[in-house]
Structures are given as structure tokens and as C-alpha cells.
């Protein structure tokens, strides 16, 4: 038996209780300064007595505004995204937004559904970390999208949007350059999907580093796989079946690197000794793993803050110039290389 819920106290009822008009009560909840302190107090008192709760949904509907914002990430289990999420929340809460969160797990279909859901909920804008192989349909949809959207972490090259990410190319170049200086000549690039801009840019950095050292590029050392621990482990196993196996691994990110290190250990070998491993992101566990992980810091929280800030700016002024923020990565050398 579904009970009819005790219905909400309305602004109307508050106004009646306080003996003012609905318009006045409305001005007060919105913090207008045009109301005398005396009436303001009286009305606020009535609200407290009646247990009034402002109905932001109704207000937004009427005024065609929005107080929510969507955040779509690919994997909440990746600490990189937890950090990014914290950054986004920090910034947006300041501005009074509430965040609708969605996770795609890198599925295009899921991403599509989430974009729809966000629209249906009238979000004021969306921060999107696109899945690596976004379909043409999705991209077309985003192009026609008429509410503010900011891309973060990965960029869809066909779409002209605000974007914030880091310079993956330079990061990869630093990581691979480091391995070369350590004497490695056969360096695998493990994990990730070649569909994503983040992968392509890392590859460019990888290639630049090899060219600068006068080394040839062996494409058979690029082994794509899921961006997870499991994917890392699997890609390592594949790398070791190579007729001329690599002596070092540059991993798509730290999560992949942890899987790779686990795989190395599983074979009775020692990461950092029998095989060098470098990650990407510098998540917190990178410093506490065994061995500690050499990696490239990608400032997830900062990316989140910037994305939130760009979104807010875009909501305030839909026509402002397009902005791209590219943060500079840093190499953190530890025990695994």
C-alpha cells in the first residue's frame, strides 16, 4: 500500500503564516536585499516553524535555470578519477551546484545513455571524460548539444569544446626518455586503447623519445588492453611471449602498471630489477606499492578544478571564447625503474 506522503510545505503557506504576500516570501528565499530586516526575520521564523524546504526543482523549472551539473567519468575505481572528482566537487560546491555523477566504464552505449539522462534532468552543463572509442553517433550528438559541455582528460578531436587535460606527449616523452637513459632499448607500451587521444598522444611522446635517441620504433611492442590491473597483467604476458621481448614497460597509467608489476611478480621476477616499469598519473598508491612506482604526475585534482571552473564560466557566458588548458606533467622517479 503506497501511502500518500505528507506533502511539502509551500511558499504560499509560509507567506500566509507570516502574513506577507507570496511574492515577498519568494524574494526572501532568494536573498533579495529589498526587504526590510523586520519582515525578513518574521518570514524566516515562519519557515523554521513550518519546516519549510525550498523547492529548487520547481524554482529551476520556472526560471529556466539549473542548479545541477553532470560529471561523466570512465572509471570511479581508478584513483585518478576519484581525485578529479574531488577537484570538481570543490569548485562547483562553491558556486552552489550539485553534481550528478555517472560512470561509463568506457562503454559508448553507457555514455550515450548517461548523456540523455543528464539532459532529461536539466543539468546546467556537463563535464565529460569521453570513452576511448566514442561512436560517430555520439560525437555528432555532442556537436549539436546545446548546453555547456567541457571535455576533460581525453579530447574528441572532431568536437570544438573547452578542454582541460595534461600534455600526455611530453609526459610520455619524459617517461620513455628516462627508461632510455637507464639503458633500455626495447620498451613496450602497454595498455589503453589506440582510439583515444590520450593513447595517441602518449604514443607520439614515446616515438619522439626514441627518435631523439636514434632508436627504431617497433610497433609490435605497442600492446593495447583494458585500462585496469587485469588489462595490465594480460598485456605484460603478451609482451613476454614476444620473440624479442622488451626489457622495460611504459604503461598507459598507474593502474595498468600495477597489473604489469603483479604479472612480473607472478612469473617469479622482480619489477625494477628484471624489468623496468613506468606508470602514468602518480596516484597515491604509486608511492606505497612494491617496488614504489616510477610515474608521471598528471595532477588529477587540478584537472577537476579547472574543468569545473571552465564549466562555470561557460554557463555564465555561453558565448565566451573556447579555452583549452593543458597542464605540464612531472616525472617522479622511484623504485620500479
Instruction: Return residues touching DNA (CB under 7 A).
Output: 7-8, 10-12, 19-24, 26, 29-30, 34-36, 38-40, 52-55, 58-59, 61-64
Q: Scanning residues 288 to 317, which ones bind a copy of itself (CB under 8 A)?
A: 288-292, 316-317
Question: Measured between alpha carbons, how far is 158 from 325 in angstroms, rounded to an integer?
Answer: 17
**Torsion angles phi and psi, residue 200, rounded to 5:** -60, -40
Cα–Cα dist 169/327, whole Å: 11
Beta bridge partners, 151, equal 128, 163
| Residue 30's binding partner out of a copy of itself, DNA, none, with CB under 5 to 8 Å set by partner kind | DNA
Complex with DNA: residue 64 or 243, whichever CB lies closer = 64
Count residues binding a copy of itself (CB under 8 A). Answer: 56
Could you say which DSSP state residue 287 is in?
G
DSSP state of 163: E
Q: How far apart are CA 239 and CA 259, in angstroms?
A: 13
Stretches 60-68, 167-175, 194-202, 321-329: which one binds a copy of itself (CB under 8 A)? 60-68
Closest CB to a copy of itself among residues 220, 290: 290
Shortest distance, position 40 Cβ to DNA, whole Å: 6
Beta carbon of residue 94, minimum distance to DNA (angstroms, whole number): 21
- Scanning 114-122, 184-192, 199-207, 241-249 for contacts with a copy of itself by CB under 8 A, the matching segment is 114-122
C-alpha cell at 334: 622511484
Residues 157-216 that bind a copy of itself (CB under 8 A): none
d(CA 293, CA 310): 32
Rounded to the nearest whole angstrom, what is the least distance from the CB of residue 57 to DNA in the complex? 8
From residue 324, alpha-carbon distances to 59, 74, 210, 251, 306 in Å are: 33, 21, 28, 26, 10
Work out whether 32 is an interface residue with a copy of itself (CB under 8 A).
Answer: no
Place of cell 529556466: 64
Q: Tell the residue number behind the cell numbers 555520439, with chain if given.
A: 138
Inter-residue contact 42 to 18 (CB < 8 Å): yes
Subset of residues 251 to 280 that bind a copy of itself, contact rule: CB under 8 A: 258, 261-262
Cα–Cα distance for residue pair 18/9, rounded to 1 Å: 13
φ and ψ at residue 68, rounded to 5 degrees: -120, 160
Least Cβ distance, residue 146 to DNA (angstroms)? 13
Residue among 31, 51, 183, 268 that touches a copy of itself (CB under 8 A): 51
For residue 191, what is its C-alpha cell?
595498455
Return the number of the residue (53 or 77) whose C-beta is nearest DNA: 53
- Binder to a copy of itself among 33, 36, 63, 144 (CB under 8 A)? 144
314 CB-side CA count, 13 A = 25
Residue 292 contact, options a copy of itself, DNA, none, Cβ 5-8 Å cut-off depending on partner type: a copy of itself
Q: Could you identify the residue written with the cell 617517461?
A: 175
Contact residues: a copy of itself, CB under 8 A: 1-3, 5-7, 51, 53-58, 60-61, 64, 67-68, 76-77, 79, 82-83, 85-86, 89, 98-103, 116-117, 119-122, 144, 146-147, 229, 258, 261-262, 284-285, 288-292, 316-319
Amino acid at each position: 500500500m503506497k501511502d500518500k506522503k505528507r506533502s511539502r510545505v509551500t511558499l504560499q503557506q509560509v507567506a500566509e503564516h507570516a502574513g506577507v504576500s507570496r511574492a515577498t516570501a519568494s524574494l526572501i528565499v532568494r536573498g533579495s536585499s529589498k526587504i526590510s530586516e523586520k519582515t525578513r526575520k518574521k518570514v524566516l521564523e515562519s519557515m523554521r516553524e513550518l519546516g519549510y524546504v525550498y523547492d529548487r526543482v520547481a524554482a529551476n523549472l520556472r526560471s529556466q535555470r539549473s542548479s545541477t551539473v553532470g560529471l561523466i567519468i570512465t572509471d570511479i575505481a581508478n584513483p585518478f578519477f576519484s581525485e578529479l572528482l574531488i577537484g570538481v566537487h570543490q569548485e562547483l560546491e562553491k558556486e552552489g551546484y550539485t553534481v550528478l555523477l555517472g560512470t561509463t566504464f568506457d562503454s559508448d552505449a553507457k555514455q550515450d545513455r548517461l548523456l540523455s539522462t543528464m539532459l532529461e534532468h536539466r543539468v546546467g552543463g556537463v563535464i565529460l571524460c569521453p570513452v576511448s572509442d566514442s561512436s560517430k553517433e555520439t560525437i555528432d550528438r555532442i556537436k549539436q548539444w546545446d548546453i555547456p559541455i567541457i571535455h576533460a582528460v581525453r579530447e574528441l578531436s572532431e568536437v570544438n569544446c573547452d578542454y582541460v587535460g595534461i600534455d600526455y606527449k611530453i609526459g610520455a616523452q619524459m617517461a620513455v626518455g628516462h627508461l632510455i637513459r637507464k639503458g633500455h632499448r626495447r620498451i613496450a607500451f602497454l595498455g589503453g586503447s589506440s582510439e583515444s587521444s590520450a593513447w595517441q598522444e602518449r604514443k607520439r611522446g614515446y616515438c619522439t623519445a626514441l627518435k631523439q635517441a636514434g632508436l627504431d620504433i617497433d610497433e609490435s611492442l605497442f600492446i593495447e588492453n583494458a585500462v585496469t590491473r587485469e588489462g595490465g597483467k594480460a598485456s605484460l604476458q603478451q609482451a613476454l611471449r614476444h620473440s624479442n621481448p622488451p626489457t622495460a614497460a611504459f604503461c598507459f597509467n598507474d593502474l595498468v602498471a600495477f597489473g604489469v608489476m603483479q604479472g612480473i611478480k607472478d612469473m617469479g621476477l622482480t619489477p625494477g630489477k628484471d624489468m623496468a616499469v613506468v606508470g602514468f598519473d602518480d596516484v597515491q598508491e604509486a608511492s606505497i606499492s612494491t617496488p614504489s612506482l616510477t610515474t608521471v604526475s598528471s595532477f588529477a585534482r587540478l584537472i577537476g578544478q579547472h574543468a569545473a571552473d571552465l564549466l562555470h564560466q561557460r554557463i555564465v557566458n555561453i558565448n565566451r571564447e573556447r579555452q583549452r588548458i593543458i597542464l605540464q606533467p612531472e616525472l617522479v622517479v622511484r623504485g620500479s625503474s
